[in-house]
Amino acid sequence: MELDKNKFSLAASAVMGVWYVICATLVALAPDLAMKLFSYMVHLVNLEAGLVGWPEAIYGFVEVIVLTYITAYVFAWLHNRFMKTA
């Protein structure tokens, strides 16, 4: 079965838009927490403490797996809903 490109793109845009709002809200309300979580996820250099260590790399790995699962699940759910409206 071929995916409907427009419906799939609409689902992707909706999910990423929600993530953007969540991210912006987290940065606005808890900037220190946001910086810590996002630095784990992208294994950035912590300018205050040097390179991120193994525990942080593992936290980031788990964070990416969980966020990917949630994103893909909502993606599929929205795509299926959009396909029903076609």
| DSSP state letters, 17-57 | HHHHHHHHHHHHH-HHHHHHHHHHHTT--BTTTBS--HHHH
Give me the pLDDT at residue 18, please. Answer: 93
d(CA 63, CA 68): 8
What are the distances in angstroms from CA 63 to CA 36, 56, 78, 85? 12, 10, 22, 33
User: Domain span at residue 54?
Assistant: 5-84
- What is the per-residue pLDDT across 14-72, written as a single tens digit (0 to 9) for each? 999 999 999 899 999 999 998 888 877 776 655 555 555 677 778 888 888 999 999 99
How far apart are the C-alpha atoms of 33 and 1, rounded to whole Å?
Answer: 43
Domain count of the fold of the chain: 1
Give me the pLDDT at residue 42, please.
73
Classify 86 as helix, strand or coil. Answer: coil
Dihedral pair phi/psi, residue 45, rounded to 5°: -80, 125
